Homo-oligomer: A and B are copies of this chain.
Amino acid sequence: MNRLLSIQDYVTGLQTGDIAILSKAITLIESHNFQHQLLAQQLIDALLPLTGNSVRIGITGVPGVGKSTFIESFGMHLVTKGKKVAVVAIDPSSSISKGSILGDKTRMEKLSVHPNAFIRPSASGGSLGGLTYKTRETTLLCEAAGFDTIIIETVGVGQSETEVSTISDFFLLLMLAGAGDELQGIKRGIMEMADGIAITKADGTNATKAKSARAEFANALHFLPPTNSGWIPEVKTCSSYENTGIKEIQEMIEKFIQHQIAKGFFESKRKEQNLYAFRRLLDEQLKINFLAQPKIKTQLLELEKQVVDGLISPYSAVSKVISKP
């Protein structure tokens, strides 16, 4: 990292939409250096009044569904309409490889060079507060820098697909046509978390199959419980290749946001998400402090083994490592 800027330098730079400063700020919050972390948290606190003015869209789907090409088309549609679009990716690997940044930028050829777009993977691996915590902070930085649409892309590994719903306003699931097979890679629980589904690659000889998949999924979603706000998830088809259906997906998201605002769920969901992030971080810090005691870690591993094998009750095991206040 280059020399550290002051909080005021960062704030001023972000307020003027300086992309170089935004990149530096993201690097700062991702740093594992203790001094950097302190500065990063002061920065986030200072920026909070400048954040929140964006629509946060979480996007997931199995590898091969065409996430990058979809985001390229979708992002280009948004910037053409005058939106400022930031794409952040949840990357569970512990370090940012230049390759992955380059990879994303190569796959999003037009979007990556557009003046109103910003693409950046987010290194979340091993961070306190779960996979999405650093991505959450990256989102806040992008908002402070004036981006009004934040696309949060998951790499579709481990827990990241489900966790993205804890930091996004709208959760879009990308699916392939072809009943049955396409579900193999999707984890249970994802379908019921989606606010909308887009069936990708609905072009050429695949178009008819995509249309009938759309009807089938829409019918299936009808048999799932509605969201708390009463929103019934919609299913759309799209083709990044033919650039069709993209506008309709953007309209669906806009309709959803209007619905959430009208019902009072837009703000309340974000407040819940703030509380969730706090409680999760607190729980983790308590556990970290607990495990920092000598011998606890080894003892815990042994006890977990006994609990798993049904040799000791969970309650007795807890009593062995922790005393009542």
Tell me whether B313 and A44 are in contact (CB under 8 A): yes
Tell me whether B183 and A188 are in contact (CB under 8 A): no
Would you call A290 an interface residue if the criterion is a C-beta within 8 Å of the partner chain's C-beta atoms? Answer: yes
Complex alpha-carbon distance, A304 and B246, angstroms? 39
Nearest CB on B from A281, distance (A): 5
Instruction: Classify the secondary structure of A's interface with B.
Output: helix
Tell me whether A191 and B321 are in contact (CB under 8 A): no
Would you call A82 an interface residue if the criterion is a C-beta within 8 Å of the partner chain's C-beta atoms? Answer: no
Within 8 A of B (CB), among A277-325: 277-278, 280-283, 285-290, 292-293, 303-304, 307-319, 321-325
Contact of A304 among B129, B219, B275 (CB under 8 A): B275
Tell me whether A191 and B223 are in contact (CB under 8 A): yes
Residues in B with CB closer than 8 Å to A180 are 222
Count of residues in A whose CB is under 8 Å from the partner chain: 70
Would you call A179 an interface residue if the criterion is a C-beta within 8 Å of the partner chain's C-beta atoms? Answer: yes
Complex alpha-carbon distance, A129 and B318, angstroms? 11
- Nearest-CB residue, chain B, relative to A271: B308
Residues in B with CB closer than 8 Å to A275 are 304, 307-308
Tell me whether A316 and B223 are in contact (CB under 8 A): no
Within 8 A of B (CB), among A202-232: 216-217, 219-220, 222-228
Within 8 A of B (CB), among A137-174: 137
Complex alpha-carbon distance, A184 and B239, angstroms? 34
- Nearest-CB residue, chain B, relative to A216: B223
Complex alpha-carbon distance, A44 and B314, angstroms? 10
CB-CB under 8 A for A282 and B322, given A48-B311, A129-B315, A314-B129: yes
Top 7 closest A-B pairs, CB basis?
A: A292-B325, A220-B223, A278-B314, A220-B220, A277-B314, A278-B307, A44-B313
17 example contacts (A-B, Cβ-Cβ < 8 A) are as follows: A48-B310, A48-B311, A52-B310, A129-B314, A184-B226, A188-B192, A188-B226, A189-B189, A191-B225, A216-B223, A274-B314, A275-B308, A277-B314, A282-B317, A286-B286, A286-B322, A288-B324
